[in-house]
Amino acid sequence: MHFCLIASGFILRTGEFAPLHVDRFILLPERSLYGISIEISEDRIGLINDITDVLRDKEASILTMYVQIGREGRGRVIIAMDLTDSKASISDLASEISNITGLGRVTIIEPIKEGFLVDTLSFPVYTGSYRMVFFRDVLLRGLIEGLKERIGVQAAEALLYHIGSEMGKAAAQDHIKMGKALGLKSPSEIVKYITIPTYAAIGFARAELSEFDEDVPRYKIRLYNSIECEISKSEGRPSSHLVRGMMAGALSGIHKTELLAEEKKCIATGDPYCELEIRPHQSL
């Protein structure tokens, strides 16, 4: 399946970055919020425009719009909208959209309370063929701070590193399979073309491979906007433990040898990025 977020107002080129907002729920007090789930039975050119034309004509304000279309031309559109100033009710909109050629069932997503809309229809959530959950920064902060309070700072940081390492090793097996499918020959190619780019895609950090020596093996990796270190900036000390462990575990799994990661720079200490040096234990 192919997943797209429909947005407007800017054009980005490769190498430029913009945040991706995945709004599973929307809170706008005193606004008339509704959602619709639209089945696509047969994709065609202009289909999405036909849907948005109906909403524009009725002055329905689109807040978010997600389009999911498979190779067979079937899929789904999820739209969250503000109808406060609209000329039509949600029922009228759903009825008119259902008459568009190429569409199937249209399901209305009612607000939980006025001004609070939650997409309760789209479950479970997948990325590719893998089920996923959204783990917000406030939850990660609670986990890190709670562990430090309960078991102490050093024990918590060690635990987070080892948890991350096991997560990274599990991810490595998937990266190796992807590498084979793409015809990648060496571990460093898998790291460069799969592990590094997917770090940003899943939201942990924007990773950049600055140095590597495959024979050792040894890597230097820069992490920009690491979620773990951003929420720990107030500590004023190197703060990458879970994320650092994930990278060490992933590279260990790809190289099939135990590697450790040391944080040489960190945004929590005022550096412009976090930098990890990853190499065999005896080399650190």
Q: In the chain, where are the structural domains located?
A: 2-132, 137-283
Q: Which CATH class is domain 137-283?
A: alpha beta
What is the reported pLDDT for 5? 37
Count each helix (H run) and each strand (E run) in the chain, helices first: 8, 13
What single string gives the DSSP state of each residue in 8-51?
A: -S----TT--------SEEE-TTS-EEEEEEEESS--TTHHHHH
Q: How confident is the model at residue 92 (pLDDT cuts 50, 70, 90)?
A: very high
Give the CB-side neighbour count of residue 39, counting CA atoms within 13 A: 6
Q: How confident is the model at residue 284 (pLDDT cuts 50, 70, 90)?
A: low
What single string gives the DSSP state of each residue in 163-215?
A: HHHHHHHHHHHHHHHHHHHHT--SHHHHIIIIIHHHHHHTTS-EEEEEEEETT
3-state secondary structure of 55: helix
CA-to-CA distance for 107 and 81, rounded, in angstroms?
Answer: 14
pLDDT of 66 above 90: yes
Asked if 280 contacts 260 with a C-beta cutoff of 8 angstroms, the reply is yes
Asked if 103 contacts 38 with a C-beta cutoff of 8 angstroms, the reply is yes
What is the reported pLDDT for 283? 56
pLDDT tens digits, one per residue of 216-259: 999 999 999 999 999 999 889 999 999 999 999 999 999 999 99
pLDDT of 1 above 80: no
Q: How confident is the model at residue 163 (pLDDT cuts 50, 70, 90)?
A: very high
What is the reported pLDDT for 253? 97
pLDDT of 12 above 60: no
Averaged over 172-188, what is the pLDDT? Answer: 96
> At which residue do the structure tokens 């039509």 appear?
88
What is the reported pLDDT for 17? 78
For the chain, the average pLDDT equals 92
Give the CB-side neighbour count of residue 213, counting CA atoms within 13 A: 9
pLDDT of 145 above 80: yes
pLDDT tens digits, one per residue of 182-206: 999 999 999 999 999 999 999 999 9
pTM for the model stands at 0.85
C-alpha distances in angstroms, 111 versus 44, 77, 82, 116?
Answer: 31, 18, 11, 6
pLDDT tens digits, one per residue of 101-143: 999 999 999 999 999 999 999 999 998 889 999 889 999 999 9
pLDDT of 79 above 60: yes
Q: Which CATH class is domain 2-132?
A: alpha beta
